[in-house]
Amino acid sequence: MRQTAFAFTFALLASISPGDPPKESPATLAQARQAIKSEILDRAPKGDGSKPDAPPKGVFDLVNYKSPAGDLAAYLSPDPKDDKKHPAIIVCTGGFGGIGSSSWTVERYTGHFRKAGLIVMCPSWRGQQSNPGRWECFRGEIDDALAALEHLRALPYVDTSRIYITGHSTGGTISLMVAECTDKVRAAFPLGARYDARELVQKDEIWDMPAPFDVNNAEEMRIRSPINFIATIQAPTFAFEGKSSPNDLDSPKVNALAKAAGKPFKAFSIAQADHFNIVDPINALIAAKIAGDTGRALSIAISDEEVQRAFATRRMPFTPRANLDPKTPYLRMSNAAVEEIASAMKERKHDPAKVYVRFGMDGYFSYHISFDEEVDPRDLTIDMKQFKILLDPLTAFLMRGTAISYSKDGGFDYENPNEN
């Protein structure tokens, strides 16, 4: 049984053209952030008061680092006590819930870096768990990440010339924006970053949460959109996303911006990959590259062929465990699930004849829902009375026989026989 939040990410603020800066706007992200005093609204979500899971001894220590918001929690590799300086990496966690046991129980998140001998720091941000402050959506969290960087730089067992940063999804966006703010990281490796925050806004909500700032303020939105500062990026950056992810639509644009400005940035679009299944193979590739980057200057080079080969070699086998009858329907949806999607389409004024509901899934059994106006010839289409569903071939393979229900408290719930 798996649950997922109900999130649609294709809405745009029509009044703002992506990538068009206001006149006389500062050239760099750091300057733009200094030029505006953001107002974080009282509706911005706070932490739930929970504490991070206690890490296993010898793997991580649970520490506090000082940020402008106050003392924030982080997992940090312990001092090896070998009188050596070690390379280090900041791993920015995705999502919004803070840090937890997945930092050590799920190999793909930090395991590759720890095995490569890196000091790993997994910070949490303001407004998470028992941390002070509120969620600011890529504003204060960047200050927190920069503070985590300074915490690492002050450690006697860290080689300050070899500090890297990475992260996935929201963590990928934060790691990219750190690279736009400072050259104190040797290189950045954002995975699944969102380049334009304007694509997240639906009325006064972002990711189904109350927006923490005035979304009609163009400059507030601009400083939360890393696409606007690719041309002034401060640190070499290698970005990655699966081709089937909506985030990848901006990859050609950011590559063009970086190339025109002569900046060391490359966004890799990974064929047959999605937003989720890139994490394990790409983190393994990044760890190997960092392990070999031992000179005084950065010597990391990554080709499209290497990225594609890494994904093809390490991606999870997409094999359902259930032996299903070929006549088994692909999906069964409860009335509540159907009504929730139909209601969302009506609220967003989507025409069911033109807009489809796309269900997605990856080899880690992570589920996501989005609206899509484009149909791939390989997609499976399922006609419902209120709307049409799209399943790409991989999702159809993995989700066949899944029962989908919905409740206001728990969101969407998936009973997938292939997980048994």
What is the C-alpha to C-alpha distance for residues 155 and 188, in angstroms, rounded to an integer? 20
pLDDT band per the 50, 70, 90 thresholds, residue 319: low
Does residue 3 have a pLDDT over 60? no
Does residue 126 have a pLDDT over 70? yes
Per the DSSP assignment, residues forming a β-bridge with 380 are: 391
Look over the chain and give the mean of its residue pLDDT values, rounded to a whole number: 89
- pLDDT at site 352: 93
- pLDDT at site 22: 44
What are the tens digits of pLDDT across the range 163-214?
999 999 999 999 999 999 999 999 999 999 999 999 999 889 998 899 999 9
Does residue 13 have a pLDDT over 70? no
Asked whether the beta carbons of 332 and 322 are under 8 A apart, the reply is: no
pLDDT band per the 50, 70, 90 thresholds, residue 381: very high
Closest to 374 measured CA to CA, from 386, 392, 394: 392
pLDDT band per the 50, 70, 90 thresholds, residue 317: low
Structural domains in the chain, sorted by start: 9-314 (3.40.50.1820), 331-419 (2.60.300.12)
Closest to 365 measured CA to CA, from 285, 420, 308, 327: 420
Does residue 305 have a pLDDT over 60? yes
Phi, psi of 145 (to 5 degrees): -65, -40
Mean pLDDT (whole number) for 380-385: 92
3-state secondary structure of 282: helix
Most confident of 105-109, 190-194, 364-368, 377-381: 190-194
Phi, psi of 106 (to 5 degrees): -105, 105
Does residue 300 have a pLDDT over 90? yes
Most confident of 148-157, 306-315, 326-335: 148-157
What is the C-alpha to C-alpha distance for residues 155 and 152, in angstroms, rounded to an integer? 5
- pLDDT at site 392: 84
Q: Positive or negative CA dihedral for 98, 104, 108, 112?
A: positive
Number of CB atoms found within 10 A of residue 237's CB: 27
